[in-house]
Amino acid sequence: MNAVRGKLCASLQLFRLVVFTIGIACTVVSSARSEDAPERVAAGQQGQGDEIHRSWRVGGFFTGGFPPNYEMHVGEIHYQEELQLYNAGFEGGKMLTALRGPAFLRGRCEAVVEVIPFWLAYSPKQEDVVYDPINQYPGIGGFPSYSVHGVSVTPLLFRWNFMKRDSSRIVPWVQLGSGLLWTARPFPQGEGQGYYTSRINFTPQVGVGQNIFTKKNQSLNMAVKAVHISSAGLGEYNPGVVVSLQFSLGYSWWK
């Protein structure tokens, strides 16, 4: 029960952080729009206002998240564990197409590369309900805290930016891609006789988000990603992390 309560509290705190971040972003955008109102009027008088042309960008981001349902298996014994994921890195993007598409699908395709030099999986000290089918009864197990560090690269990430014109100030997007994760020790679930996992994992993922332009060529970026972590059989045991929800906040400079 304590483990479940802890997971709920962690999820609630993360939700509050996301709401707080979105609130700040909305405040920044409202202020920027007020300051740039004369500029927008002038652009409207000119017609399309497409004098802004953004071709590529660089930026940084911080991400925090968790797997909603993370289950550990050791032989026939299994239990759910709280796991927190954090990472920080850099990204670069290059627009591959001009504006195209009908109505609300109109936008531009972007190729994105992410480099994450700081990647952390952290499991706090906790007590969990342990299920043992052999003895046919659940029990309470105490587990110490531990952390696993790593680095990650996502070279195959394609994003569709929804925009009516190049000068759009709010640009929602969806993305799909996959990358590689290297960790200092086997992840997930470590190593043991017959249960050795892998230090190399693949990270297929999907995500949604939006870029909010605070200036002509600068944007605040928010995203929610669903990331799967799996070694694809590189280790003798591949429990994987079926899905992790990750919330990202970043900033980009465009050219």
| DSSP assignment string, 15-69 | HHHHHHHHHHHHHHHHHHHHHTHHHHHHHHHHSS-TT----EEEEEEEEEEE-SS
Structure-token pair, residue 206: 């999907």
List Cβ neighbours of 140 (8 Å cut-off, separation of 6 or more). 127, 128, 129, 130
pTM, two decimal places: 0.77
Residue 36 has pLDDT above 70, yes or no: no
Q: Which CATH number is 2-254's, of 3.40.50.150, 3.40.470.10, 2.40.160.20, 1.10.3720.10?
A: 2.40.160.20
- Over pLDDT 90: what percentage of the chain? 59
> How is residue 100 annotated by DSSP?
B
Q: For the segment 136-187, what is each residue's pLDDT rounded down to a tens digit? A: 778 888 889 999 999 999 998 999 999 999 999 999 999 999 999 999 999 9
Residue 27 has pLDDT above 50, yes or no: no
Domain boundaries, the chain: 2-254
| Cβ atoms 69, 80 nearer than 8 A | yes
**What pLDDT score does 73 carry?**
78
Amino acid at 250: G
